[in-house]
Amino acid sequence: MPTDRGPEETPESTGSIKDLILEQEEAASLIKNRYLLEPNEIVDEERIVGRDTQLTDITQHLRVAISNERPPNLLLYGPSGTGKSLIINAVCQNIVELCESRDIRFGVIQMNCQNVGTLGAAVYELARKVASDIGTTVDVPEHGVPNKKKWRELYRLINEHYDTVVFILDELDMLVGRRDKDEPAFSRLLYQLSRAGSTDDITAQVSVTAITNDTKMMESVGSRALSSFTPEDVHFSDYDANQLREILWAREDAFHEDALSDDVIPLAAAFAAQTNGDARKAIDLMRTAGSIAEKTGADKVREEHVREAQDKVEKNRVLEVTRGISTQKKLCLFATAAVACETGTGAAISPIGYRVYQYLTGTLDSDQYHQETYVNKMKELTTYSLVETERKSQGPHSGSYLEFTFGENPETIIETLREDSRLDDVHDDELRTVVNAQLNQ
């Protein structure tokens, strides 16, 4: 049917979208190699800096695979963005190449456990990844069969195609499983995988590398799993500002020559060092700053682009985390962040945080839990690297309390949580009055 569209609304040509794409490509004159600005990209080993000790330790543990021996189980632990996945993947990639040259069938199967859910889902996902690695399919369905059949299928695939296999279980502490079980799903997974070599079910050599941000994860591992897993521990500490600068300088060629002003890398490193020494954040800041500079037509990436990127990256990360948490956790986090905003230290103590939480739940006519539940929910949020906890004492006769310290700016957390319309009835001025009244008691 004809339309009344005027000539100014008529597309110029079928190639106009292509022309727009080409114009945007021409305008994007600052970033040359975007893959170097992807935080999870496995980069060349000469770009790996600041982790010599961990690199040496992991290499010594895993190198036995090139002699067709079983490597020990490993536990890599430390804060997010400190190089755990980067180092283990880089080492395994080289071992795969060396094993191929010696006709040793060495496999590396990596699984991020964050969104897996249950033990059965984890076993099937591992079988699927093995099948994908060797170019075949899984012969059991994902649903409607007992876990034993999934385990047998996983063992069959390994036995037929590998001499040695290393399972890398990233963010393992997130694999909790059903709450009605005596131990979390990650404990049962560790038990089954680490004892596989001692059963008749499997003839290949199996090694397990567990990666976690939670330093207390092993406290939740059952006694059977502990006795069979017995890993070699490799600790990854925060990067400091100097190491973060080295990491960014090693990726400086992601940009065209002279595209970065001198203060960009030091500032991006300083921002990342302030928030748990996270290399992923430092790299993400550089990428975002470059994109902002290109969109505005700047001739260089400058300090103001990094500062704008800092605000954007913080908001994006907090939004990503908070989008999926329960309403009660949001209220606990909101109350605690509101206290931290007013203390000026980025920290809040649990008794005051709880009283502000009580105010919020009363204002919103929401369910209100006891202080112990509030504290437990805040502890659970440490998994997302939003907040850290430290127990402190009020004195020999006054008991103790928890202090919550925020990795991100608490004001950013408040601003992000306010995107939930259920918090519209909480007014900033009144909230600030309540918080200060509690602080001044």
Annotated binding residues for ATP? 82-86, 239, 251
Binding site residue list: 82-86, 239, 251
Tell me how far apart the alpha carbons of residues 77 and 424 are, in angstroms, rounded to a whole number.
39
* 42: number of Cβ within 10 Å: 15
Cβ 279 vs Cβ 83: under 8 Å: yes
Query: Alpha carbon of 111 to those of 138, 175, 230, 439: distances in Å?
Result: 16, 11, 20, 45
Crossing angle of the two packed helices 428-439 and 350-363, in degrees rounded to 10:
150
Give the rounded distance of the alpha carbon of 224 from its chain centre. 28
Cβ 288 vs Cβ 309: under 8 Å: yes
* 349: number of Cβ within 10 Å: 18
> Which residue, among 277, 272, 247, 252, has the nearest Cα to 262 in the 3D structure?
252
Across the chain, which distance is largest between two alpha carbons, in Å? 85
DSSP-derived pairing of the beta strands 205-212 and 387-395: unpaired
Q: Which residues contact 362 (CB under 8 A, 6 or more apart)?
A: 368
Q: Name residue, tokens 């170097």.
A: 36
Tell me how far apart the alpha carbons of residues 318 and 312 are, in angstroms, rounded to a whole number.
10
Cβ 169 vs Cβ 189: under 8 Å: yes
Tell me how far apart the alpha carbons of residues 279 and 80 are, in angstroms, rounded to a whole number.
9
Cβ 30 vs Cβ 256: under 8 Å: yes
Tell me how far apart the alpha carbons of residues 37 and 126 are, in angstroms, rounded to a whole number.
29
Q: Quick one: residue 240, left, alpha or beta (phi over 0 = left, psi -120 to 50 = alpha)?
A: beta
Q: Which amino acid is at 72?
A: P
DSSP-derived pairing of the beta strands 106-112 and 347-349: unpaired
Tell me how far apart the alpha carbons of residues 266 and 255 are, in angstroms, rounded to a whole number.
16
